[in-house]
Structure 1
Amino acid sequence: MRVTLTRGGAAVAVCDQGKADVMGRSKTAQRRMSAGLVAAILLFSASDIFAFEGNLAPEIDARTGDYSPFVGRAYPDQVLFGDLHFHTKLSFDAGLVGTSLSVHDAFRVARGEKIISNTGQPVQLIRPLDFLAITEHAEFLGVATALKGSDPRLLGNEAGRRIYDQFNAGQEGRMAAFADIIEMATVKGVDPFAHLGLADSIWTDLLPVIDEYNDPGTFTTLAGFEWTFTPKGDNLHRIVLFRDDADTTSKVRPLSFFEAPDPELLWDYLAAYEESTGGRAIAVPHNANMSNGLMFSDRMFNGKPMTRSYAAKRSRWEPMHEMTQIKGDEETHPLLSPDDEFANFETWDVGNLSGTAPKTPEMLQYEYARSALKLGLKLGQDLGVNPYKFGLYGTTDAHTAIPTSREDNYFGKYQHTEPSPDRHNFDVIPAEDPALRIVTAQESAAGLTAVWARQNTRGEVFDALTRKEAYATTGSRIRVRVFGGWNFDADDIGVSDFVALGYRDGVPMGGDLTNAPAGGAPRFLVSAARDPDGANLDRVQIIKGWVDASGKTHERIYDVAVSDGRTIGADGRCREAVGSTVDLETATFTNSIGDSSLSAHWMDPAFDPAEAAFYYVRVLEIPKPRWTTHDAAFFNIPLPKTVPPTVQDRAYTSPIWYAPEG
């Protein structure tokens, strides 16, 4: 059908099969016209008189044949928040040291119910989570249950009896039992309980419970486990997540590092699972900041130069990285990003996970997400496959069965670090060398995973992770979307449904920009909104990383939207700080500064089509009291001197990548 709009006898618009050509109108106006004739009419004033050529009745919306423009709308339009790294009393390093809450308790509190914590305190989330994964440690699974139940299989084992006696000797004994098991794992690399069959029923009993709480459309549960590989105390842990229900996941058992002491063996396990069951699974590295340079190495685990095959397997099985959680934030480090004034955020950088080896500066480049993304570009240039083409998400790594991530509602990592006046100086990572010691006050209240999905189901959440349409927050429920394309205009950010435009003319976070037009440059549409129950926004930034023809990597930060009428200079930066409204004595702040939402259109001013690049968005809140400051106000105690009193929580989107053709 063809429709011509005329004014005063002159044609002003032509609509043909839902496509509009508007004389004298901007490209954005023409895009709006493509929704059909009704949209075209609305572009002109009500006083205009139009002559119509054509029959309007058969096809009001030329896109779908339906009046409703939302019929057939298939792109992700819901943001869901959840936690994908989480432990209950079933994990040895939770149950052994006082966690008494079960999987049932975990799901209840995640759904928004009030429960009683491990130390007898009422706790509730400000709002329910949308999804939760249970990821107990594969190693020593069942040991905590056997200790509490005086399992004769454990008591008949020499190491088991020793652990049992320690466990029943009060809090000090429990911590000694915990330390003994950690030493078995990280130093000796042995599991003296493997032949006892303690874990046989734990997994098969757990999976139906996870399915029981799965409520499609309302609350999603996922099964998983943690592969807790810690060679010589260096953290190489992965979280394994399954897309499937109990009937499928029960066909395998969690893989421990005692059976598979190499990431490639874990990837082989995932491949075998998918081949034998038809299911889906991924692995997600975490806490590279405690790997002492191993997690994002330019070599394979065996020390040999990385091969194309190895890079392809890592890219296939590890599409995401858990870049923020209770054991520190790992976006970047001040020594890696000296021009980034926000780089020193919740940083743990003194040693490895066991506190046995100090960190040296040359290790840092292999431990942080931004530097790993840059290294991935270089390896992709050399090997033809980028092994570190991962998206970003956040979790709590709670070992309390309580997924709290807000600064004002922080319930610690372990039972003995739940709220109390003296919780700030307990050892989280004990060390003979005091310089390598990490204490409770340094724990971060982070974090959360956000996914963009069509509905709240297990498949939708998992699929968002595999296509990297997900992002990390350090605990707040900041909403952020970004689209990259070649033809976006500045006024596109203001259209009534810029998301539809973004999907139609570009790619979302996690996507790839291809087919660069001659003389063109990537253009981005970004929209961010504050947590409705949280702090206003300070600024929105785009972080660019790229590799040049000589193989040298680079990074640059661009402020693309800032609050309070501040200005962005010619160098792309706003040097004026947002300020602070925090009252340290009362642990309060006001939203009298910052903006509730920020949006931007940005074009890369230094784009070279011959250079591979990535772009991700960082959204910063205004300062608010850190959880340690809330403790000081609540318990009337001094502020700890080991951490700052305020925090600027933030969100990090998964990147959008560009690779030159050929």
Structure 2
Amino acid sequence: MNRLNKLVSINWRRVARLLVYIFGIVTFFFYFWSFIGLLIGIVYYLFSKDVAWKRNGVLLSYSITFITLLVFYYKAFSPLNLAIWSGLGIFLSFSILLLIISILKRKTAFVRKFNSRILDQIYRIPTKPKLAIKLATVITPLILWSTVSIDLEVMFDNNPRLLWVHTQSKVNLGETFEIKVEAWDQFERLSAIYKGTVEFSLYSLNISSGSEILNPIADLPAPYTFNGQFFGSDIAYEIRDGKDNGMHNFKMSINTPGIHYVLVNDSTTSNTYYSNPIIVKNYTNNEQLIAWGDFHAHTELSDGTGTPEHSLYYARYVAGLEFTALTDHGEILMWNPGSLDQIEKATNFAYVPNEFVSFQGIEWTQVKTGHYTCIFSGDELLKDPILSYTLVPTTQGLWDALNAFTERTGARALALPHHTTKRAYIQDWTYINPKYVKIAEVSSVHGDFLFEQRHPLNYRGAIDTPPLYTHGSSIMDAYKMGYKMTLYSSGDNHDGHPGHSISHTRAYIGHQRPYSIWLTRNEHPYPGGITAAFVDNLTRNGVFTGLENQQIYANSDHGRPILLFNINGTQVGDGSTLIVNNQTSHRKINIFLAQDGAPVAQKSKAASVSKNWVPNWEGVIEIMKNGLLWQSIDISAPFVNISVIDTDPIVGATFEPNCVEIDGKYYINSYSDNPIDPSTLNTGGFDFYVIRVVGDNGRTTWVGPIWVEY
């Protein structure tokens, strides 16, 4: 009996040792937390009496180090896929090598003799050199892993570098409104230690002439000195001790009509910072608001960061959004019991009519036909079926699920295609349902999707480029096929910061809170964008109607410019279609632009300022017609209001020449599995116009299209 108990005890120890080792392998995919597997490997190497397990420990620690370095430096593939395949490759190759050696040892005396000789030489190494080798074996992976996994500045530098000044885009004459002033560190995080003094003034422009208003009448906030912490914090907004901790809201009013910028002079950086533009006038009851939001965000319940409650709090109180949606992946939520209920409850709790709108949402992640972020107008989240491609494997299945849900609940739904040109998720536009697909993502943390990555008009680029130029994946190609969608921009953030992702800075690193186990945080070099919606009111119904009616425009970062566009008085939204008398009818293109004065975030670069910084207002307004650059207009002022006449005949656009033939059938590209008639992929002979504002400072804003028919 004692012998049996001893045998069972030994076997359980072996099983436990194996399970711990397997867990160490799994940490390959845990981003920053791979250090757990690294330490497991080191422990096995140092303390195992079995030579084989010492070897396995070295393999584990060095494999994790190699994969961490590979993911950091090699950006051509998705970090998660790279970690999975390289990890499997290492262990499979090592297992095959051990098997070959084992066979040779049994079959070949030379190999047995050579192996014994090597082991004998190792045992004869003197104690001090042996200790040095052991120390180097332990320290080397720790140092290499730390060089790319630990950033001391992200940990400890929370010093203020600039101010961000934000308020609503439209204000009634004489109305008291709030303006938010935030002090940011070099990673665009709130500076908990900021204790500067701010003073307020106005820069005002006549809305008709654009000339400066020299003495605007306003009730400005008094000078104010911030209070904060002695030590910095990477999540200053979570410190709820009554101090400012890098953020303060002020009240003010403006009594002069015009376009106004609130200027905030800062004693710490000795710079003056501009707010977003504010249009002040006497508004009638039926004039729409401009609401800013981000309806694509992920939490820790799928492959993101932070709780749903954290993301919703950040969106409202830190990013200053008016609306948002949490859209975690259904494919992951389905394995996380209670997660859908948690999201639904948190989203409903965060919704405050006339103050902050939170939509129910979920992401359907189909590899073959493209991703769709689904948002809903009501208080119920679609949970049966869960929108997972394993449960709802086809695009038609998605439309059927949305049909059934909207009929049962009376809610409305939108399905939003996003990162359409990424190699792993090429969008197949031939499957879209116009009932739900009314707007398309032009920009996110993944890049720019109006054009394919290598198109000469794609100035910003995008990640995960297909090996060959791929027609038919970009939004502009979808327009040429005749699909009518307007443009939105989103964060698609995985770092817990809806409306203001910071993963384009070095603060994507794993020890930045809120923590994440997902490598997805390592592949977002672009700043997340936000969307402006023209809405009747800040309710779910009001904002959803604005989105559904396509009354939106998009911006590439946290900035909030004002961009209005119409042709002969027809504005973007509700079909965005102008009908003229004939093919040669004149079209008057009107563009109203008030730029945002905030410092700009760019690809892999945080917003920053220098000494005596002033906003850079220079840039170009591009008018794109039928997918081509039709006119470029240089700008150098914060506010422009221009008109251009188009007298060219209306000729339309077609995608037909770009279709590919495979086995006698035609497709929009080699990724599509849906055969089509190429002659149907056109605009019906009608023109479409898109406006893009490209600032020299790196900020990009899009609006459109407007279609012109006769």
Q: TM-score, normalised by structure 1?
A: 0.53
Corresponding residue number in structure 2 for 1:618: 692
- Aligned residue pairs total 383
Does residue 402 in structure 1 map to residue 497 in structure 2?
A: yes
Following the alignment from structure 1 to structure 2, what is the Cα–Cα distance between the partners of residues 132 and 259? 26
8 Å contact 2:382–2:405 — kept in the other structure? Answer: no
Q: CA deviation at 1:516?
A: 3.0
Corresponding residue number in structure 2 for 1:132: 324
Corresponding residue number in structure 1 for 2:261: none
Q: CA deviation at 1:407?
A: 7.3
Following the alignment from structure 1 to structure 2, what is the Cα–Cα distance between the partners of residues 250 and 622? 43
Following the alignment from structure 1 to structure 2, what is the Cα–Cα distance between the partners of residues 408 and 602? 39
Evaluate the alpha carbon distance shift between residue 521 and residue 334 of structure 1 in structure 2; reply closer, same or farther with a 3 A threshold: farther
SS at match of 1:315: coil
Evaluate the alpha carbon distance shift between residue 141 and residue 518 of structure 1 in structure 2; reply closer, same or farther with a 3 A threshold: closer
Following the alignment from structure 2 to structure 1, what is the Cα–Cα distance between the partners of residues 503 and 496? 18
Q: CA deviation at 1:621?
A: 2.0
Following the alignment from structure 2 to structure 1, what is the Cα–Cα distance between the partners of residues 297 and 341? 18
Corresponding residue number in structure 2 for 1:538: 618
Q: Pick from 276, 292, 298 the counterpart of residue 87 of structure 1.
A: 298
8 Å contact 2:585–2:647 — kept in the other structure? Answer: no
Does residue 360 in structure 1 map to residue 468 in structure 2?
A: yes
SS at match of 2:345: helix
Following the alignment from structure 2 to structure 1, what is the Cα–Cα distance between the partners of residues 451 and 459? 8
Corresponding residue number in structure 1 for 2:442: 323
Corresponding residue number in structure 1 for 2:388: 256
Does residue 529 in structure 1 map to residue 594 in structure 2?
A: yes
Corresponding residue number in structure 2 for 1:225: 362
SS at match of 1:86: coil
468-477 or 201-210, which deviates more: 201-210
528-537 or 217-226, which deviates more: 528-537
Q: CA deviation at 1:601?
A: 0.8
Does residue 278 in structure 1 map to residue 393 in structure 2?
A: no
Question: What is the one-letter code of the residue matched to 2:468?
Answer: T
Corresponding residue number in structure 2 for 1:38: none
Q: CA deviation at 1:393?
A: 0.8
Q: CA deviation at 1:294?
A: 4.0
CA RMSD of superposed structures (Å) = 3.3
Corresponding residue number in structure 2 for 1:372: 478
Evaluate the alpha carbon distance shift between residue 461 and residue 404 of structure 1 in structure 2; reply closer, same or farther with a 3 A threshold: closer
8 Å contact 1:404–1:445 — kept in the other structure? Answer: no
Question: What is the one-letter code of the residue matched to 2:632?
Answer: D
Corresponding residue number in structure 2 for 1:558: 631
Corresponding residue number in structure 1 for 2:644: 602
Corresponding residue number in structure 1 for 2:427: 295
Q: CA deviation at 1:413?
A: 6.0
Corresponding residue number in structure 1 for 2:401: 269
What per-residue deviation string (whole Å, max 9, x for no partner) do you get for residues 494-529 of structure 1?
A: xxxxxxxxxxx4333551101335742221221111
SS at match of 1:443: coil
Evaluate the alpha carbon distance shift between residue 215 and residue 141 of structure 1 in structure 2; reply closer, same or farther with a 3 A threshold: same
Evaluate the alpha carbon distance shift between residue 416 and residue 656 of structure 1 in structure 2; reply closer, same or farther with a 3 A threshold: farther
Question: What is the one-letter code of the residue matched to 1:614?
Answer: F
Residues 133-172 of structure 1 mapped to structure 2, 5 A cutoff: 133-141=325-333, 143=335
Evaluate the alpha carbon distance shift between residue 399 and residue 516 of structure 1 in structure 2; reply closer, same or farther with a 3 A threshold: same
SS at match of 2:292: strand
SS at match of 1:218: coil
Q: Pick from 458, 461, 465 the counterpart of residue 346 of structure 1.
A: 461
Question: What is the one-letter code of the residue matched to 1:622?
Answer: D
What per-residue deviation string (whole Å, max 9, x for no partner) do you get for residues 373-411 of structure 1?
A: 12x23xxxxxxxxxx211111111111221253779857
Following the alignment from structure 1 to structure 2, what is the Cα–Cα distance between the partners of residues 512 and 84? 26
Q: Pick from 553, 556, 560 the counterpart of residue 474 of structure 1.
A: 556
Does residue 649 in structure 1 map to residue 699 in structure 2?
A: yes
Identity across matched positions, percent: 22
SS at match of 1:317: coil
Evaluate the alpha carbon distance shift between residue 142 and residue 292 of structure 1 in structure 2; reply closer, same or farther with a 3 A threshold: closer
Q: CA deviation at 1:440?
A: 4.2
Evaluate the alpha carbon distance shift between residue 417 and residue 618 of structure 1 in structure 2; reply closer, same or farther with a 3 A threshold: farther
What per-residue deviation string (whole Å, max 9, x for no partner) do you get for residues 208-261 of structure 1?
A: 221111111211111100001124xxx711100001113xx4674531111222
Corresponding residue number in structure 2 for 1:244: 378
Q: Pick from 306, 311, 316 the counterpart of residue 106 of structure 1.
A: 311
What per-residue deviation string (whole Å, max 9, x for no partner) do you get for residues 332-388 of structure 1?
A: 24743x4x4xx231322534xxxxxxx212x2x2222222212x23xxxxxxxxxx2
8 Å contact 1:537–1:619 — kept in the other structure? Answer: no
What per-residue deviation string (whole Å, max 9, x for no partner) do you get for residues 592-615 of structure 1?
A: xxx212221112242427731111
Does residue 507 in structure 1 map to residue 622 in structure 2?
A: no
Q: CA deviation at 1:474?
A: 0.8
Evaluate the alpha carbon distance shift between residue 413 and residue 464 of structure 1 in structure 2; reply closer, same or farther with a 3 A threshold: farther
Q: CA deviation at 1:414?
A: 7.4
Corresponding residue number in structure 2 for 1:579: none
Following the alignment from structure 2 to structure 1, what is the Cα–Cα distance between the partners of residues 554 and 705? 11
Following the alignment from structure 1 to structure 2, what is the Cα–Cα distance between the partners of residues 89 and 408? 16
Evaluate the alpha carbon distance shift between residue 263 and residue 251 of structure 1 in structure 2; reply closer, same or farther with a 3 A threshold: closer
Question: What is the one-letter code of the residue matched to 2:581?
Answer: A
Question: What is the one-letter code of the residue matched to 1:649?
Answer: R
Evaluate the alpha carbon distance shift between residue 415 and residue 271 of structure 1 in structure 2; reply closer, same or farther with a 3 A threshold: farther
Q: CA deviation at 1:274?
A: 1.4
Following the alignment from structure 1 to structure 2, what is the Cα–Cα distance between the partners of residues 408 and 333? 23
Following the alignment from structure 1 to structure 2, what is the Cα–Cα distance between the partners of residues 293 and 256? 15
